[in-house]
Structure 1
Amino acid sequence: MEEPSILPFPYQFKEISDEEKSIIKRVYNAPIASECVRVGPKGYIVYKPYINDAENIYNMPLRPTDVFVASYQRSGTTWTQELVWLLVNDLDYSTAAAIPLTARYQFLEIFMYFGEEGQDSYLNSSINMANVDMNKLFEIMKLWSTPATQLLANAPSPRFVKTHLPLTLLSPKILETAKVVYVARDPRDVVVSCYHHARLLTVTAYSGTFKEFWNLFHKSLFTLTPYFEHVKEAWDKRHNPNLLFLFYEELSKDLPTVIHRVADFLGKQLDDDQMAKLCDHLSFKNFKNNISVNYEDLREFGLMDENETFVRKGKVGGWRDYFDEDMTQQADQWINDNLQDTDLRFPSTNLIE
């Protein structure tokens, strides 16, 4: 059998400037946070370990049964993952409860957070590790630092993959072969959720204010920004039969309708009883308390700040509690500028008429 040809990774990597690095260092306690580079003409921010597996991700052998859940981070990814997995697996709630979501999906680029720099950042932090099972911790670190492309090579089908990488950094054949569910969210709510997530994860140890985080984000100095380029890549492919584009706001406002759309996309049908049970399972109250999806097991290793949670409030429009008047005006201008060249519109953002 002829071996598939390996495509050279088509994009260049560029170091961020010393000034940009100093801005990041001022608000992060972990060295890994500033050990990043820009990739490709759009300048997506990635941590340096990503470079080592970029070509393998780009050339990842795909199967027709593969299902990707893709998004810019904190856009409703976990919610969508659980929905997709249950539909593909014929509503197998018992297995979903028994096996954490992290084990049901491979997180394609998690290795870039837990390479040598990330592990050093965590192990040299001020976290009290007196009660941590170090053997188990090192097993987890080893697993997470292993490129997912290696783990996926021998994984049984169907394979479920989570990624926050933009489409251009994935295989150019992905929409010819696999199914991709992409979910997007109002960027202002994304910023708020990313801020809390950056505080949550001790591996990066964000210590700045929300306003400082906002400046990082909208100036494209946070992981995998620029945000709008990420979303627009998927939006431009929304008519491809192998990509389903969802909005977080739609999930929040009309979950049954979105479930029907996802079910149709995956070739599944639900009766009224199945729909009612799935809606109840995915209701935010139940989802937040679902230990299979909320990552609470990571607390025993000190990987999560005690004052933050992985699944937070799920609120649409919660950004208003964080943005002052100047930031609101900045955000309005930022959104308007970035929507000028596209018909992309967010359900909760009506700035351009």
Structure 2
Amino acid sequence: MLKTENKIRGVFGQCIKEKSYKKNEYPYEIRKLEDSINKKLLEDFSGERTGFVQIGKKKWFFPSGMAKQAEDFYNFEVRPSDIWIVTFPRSGTTLTQEMIWLLANNLDYEKASRIPLTARYPFLEFSCFVHPETKAEFIEENKHSNLLTDLVEKISEPLCDQLSQIKERRFLKTHLPLSLLPRDLLKAGCKVIYVARNPKDVAVSFYHLNRLIRTQGYKGDFPTYWRYFTQNLQPWAPYWEHILEAWNVRHEENLLFMFYEDMIKVEDLNGSIRKVQNFLGTKYTDAEINTLEKHLQIDNFRMNKSVNFDILKKLGILKSGEEDFVRKGKNGDWKNHFDQELNKEADEWIEDNLKYTDLKFPTQ
């Protein structure tokens, strides 16, 4: 085991002393966080039970399960026919999935309503977040039904081998940054759609998801969560590195970079659909595009059971008493969570990270 000691700034200003190890054929070191930081995180996030790791020089943050599968994701065999949705969490992923699947499948609304989005779009790394102990709890809670326990087993199984056996066109969802995805992703001929969203709304939505889904199990308040977010102590962080990796290759032929803010504006949703249609090479009439636009408008979308992760509700993986998986879907909800002091801190953090880039969010 290769050991190194690095110091990085941790949450609440503490320092983290890390141990690292390498996996064969994988170009990044995977380092364990120092015990005191792990202890604090495990107290606030009940879904993970072992601890957290960071990957590579950018220190991509993940639960312990990622260490077992990171190499598989990096070496996964991409097909030219694949369609990949890549986002930082809570950046408009679900809306984008539904839009693209329908555009690529002859606007088959009946089939889309019949087959849950989770089945149409496998979530590449979700199994990394199902800790063996939480999995055992889910199975125990669902032991009255063989069907439900089988579903728990299915969602907690690594996907790479399963995906390689799919014969038809594959639609894949991931929150992994481009640098941790297959090496030839942008050169294999497949279509990659990356969606970005402003960090304040992302953090608010991710906070609610962390409270809702038991694989995360966050128990704290929003100000504490915000500091975890900005200290890059949240899965898939660092946020800025994630977006900038995609922004810096936005001119690649097989990558379409979009902003969620543009997608959900009533006056821009139609244009976003047409932009995606051009990227995919599909052709639909104005009337068909208008019908899809109505289907995707947030008030209609929120009522769509196929996209609301109902299966996770049945399994008890989504907690009751929290906000739904598909929330408000609007710009500016962050104003309901940031007080004046926290907002000032957030603005300074955003300005500092945008200082040396031409990235600019539509709402700015």
Please name the residue that 2:3 is paired with: none
Superposition map of 1:1-353 within 5 A: 8-32=25-49, 35-120=51-136, 122=138, 129=141, 133-177=144-188, 178-253=190-265, 254-307=268-321, 308-349=323-364
Instruction: Specify the SS of the correspondent of 1:175.
Output: coil
**TM-score normalised by structure 1 residue count:** 0.91
Q: Which amino acid aligns with 2:68?
A: N
Which structure's relative contact order is higher, taking Cα pairs within 8 Å and 6+ residues apart? 1
Aligned letter for 1:193? S
Where does the alignment leave 5 or more consecutive residues of structure 1 unmatched?
1-6
- CA contact 1:31–1:121 (8 Å) conserved in 2: no
Normalised to the residue count of structure 2, the TM-score between the two structures is 0.89
Unaligned runs of 5+ in 2: 1-23
The alignment-based identity, stated in percent, is 41
- RMSD between aligned residues: 1.6
- Cα distance in structure 1, aligned partners of 2:293 and 2:68: 41
Cα deviation for residue 141 of structure 1 reads 2.1
CA distance in 2, matches of 1:115, 1:24: 15
SS at match of 1:23: helix
Residues 132/211 of structure 1: CA separation in 2 closer, same or farther (3 Å cut)? farther
**1: CA distance between counterparts of 2:45 and 2:192?**
33
Please give the alpha-carbon distance, in whole angstroms, between the structure 1 residues aligned to 2:356 and 2:151. 43
Letter in 1 for 2:243: V
2:139·2:149 contact (CA, 8 Å) conserved in 1? no
Secondary structure at 2:305 match in 1: coil
**Given the superposition, is the C-alpha separation of residues 343 and 117 from structure 1 closer, same or farther in structure 2, using an over 3 Å criterion?**
farther
Q: What secondary structure sits across from 1:176 in the alignment?
A: coil
Distance 1:335 1:121 in 2: 39
| C-alpha separation in 1, matches of 2:255 and 2:233 | 28
Q: Answer whether contact 1:175 1:243 (CA < 8 A) is retained.
A: yes
Superposition deviation, residue 57 in structure 1: 1.1
Q: How many residues align?
A: 337
